[in-house]
Amino acid sequence: MRIYIVPVKIRDGLWIEDLVAEIANTFGITVETVVRNIDIEKAYDPFRRQYNSSCILLDILNCRPQGIYKVLGIVNVDLFIPILTFIFGEAQLDGPGAIVSTHRLHNKFYGLPEDPELLNRRLIKEAIHELGHTFGLLHCSYPGCVMNSSTYIENIDQKSKEFCTQCQTGVRSYIKSSF
């Protein structure tokens, strides 16, 4: 039973170790990083100058190792789904896959000086949030919970990286019923 993190065309760095540790700690499941050669250019929409997140997620899932539990793709391009101007990430509710983009998590996107630590914290929250959906969790109305919906960057900064008690219980019972 493993959660696989698949960074797509982004350089591995210290942040990935933090991410792996946080996810493993949050879900209580072994986390591994695997590199896959995924061509994301076919998901590019020249009109919108963004990448269709659902297309990339499908490609990530298509090349996942056999018998794995959950997969989290990480990209640095700007993601969209057709009805929305952008998304921070996408997940399959109670499904195997999720994807997160670092593109709009960078301070420089908002015209501010870069802050690697802040970026790291934002990425951890978004990764846990999207993976939480794959564990069957819906958006949570408790403001501090990591499953609280985030539609702009300040939302992400305001919430914690932790599940509230109810969401934590939801994840535990999901894992228990899966095995």
Partner 1 sequence: MKNPDIGILIVDDEASVRDSLYKWFKFDGYRISTAADASAALQELQNNTYDIVLLDIKMPGMDGLELQKRIKQINKNIITIMITAFASVDTSIQALKEGAFDYIVKPIDPDNMSHLIRNAVEQRRLAHENIQLRQHIETIFLGDEIIGESPIMKKIMENMITVAQTDSTVMIKGESGTGKELIARAIHSSSNRRYFPIITINCGAYREGIIESELFGHEKEAFAGALYSRRGKLEMADKGTIFLDEIGNIGEKMQKDLLRLINTKQFSRLGSEKQINVDFRIICSTGKDLENAVQEGAFSEDLYYRLNVFNISLPPLRERRIDIPSIARFFIKKYAQSLNKNVRDISQEALQVLVEYEWPGNVRELRNVIERAMVITKGDLIELNDLFFFFPSSSTASEEKSLEDVEKVHIEKILGVTGGNIAQAASILKISRLTLYNKIEKYNLRK
Cα three-residue angle 93-104-86, rounded to 5 degrees: 55
Catalytic residue chosen out of the listed positions 17, 90, 130, 162: 130
Question: Please, which of residues 41-60 interact with partner 1 by CB under 8 A?
Answer: 48, 54
Q: Which is nearer to partner 1, 7 or 89 (CB)?
A: 89
Q: Is 104 in the site for partner 1 (CB under 8 A)?
A: no
Determine the angle formed by the axes of helices 14-27 and 116-134, rounding to 10 degrees: 40
Part in contact with partner 1 (CB under 8 A); list of ranges 10-18, 83-91, 117-125, 159-167: 83-91
- Of 164, 168, 170, 172, give the one whose Cα is nearest residue 142: 164
130 catalytically annotated: yes
Nearest-angstrom CA–CA distance, 24 and 3: 8
Q: How many chain residues interact with partner 1 (CB under 8 A)?
A: 18
- How many C-beta atoms surround the C-beta of residue 97 within 10 A? 22
Beta strands 2-7 and 30-33, pairing class: parallel
Q: Per-residue contact track with partner 1, 120 to 139, x per CB under 8 A? A: -------------x----xx
What does the binding site for partner 1 look like in residue numbers (CB under 8 A)? 48, 54, 80-87, 90, 93, 133, 138-139, 149, 151-152
Catalytic site positions: 130
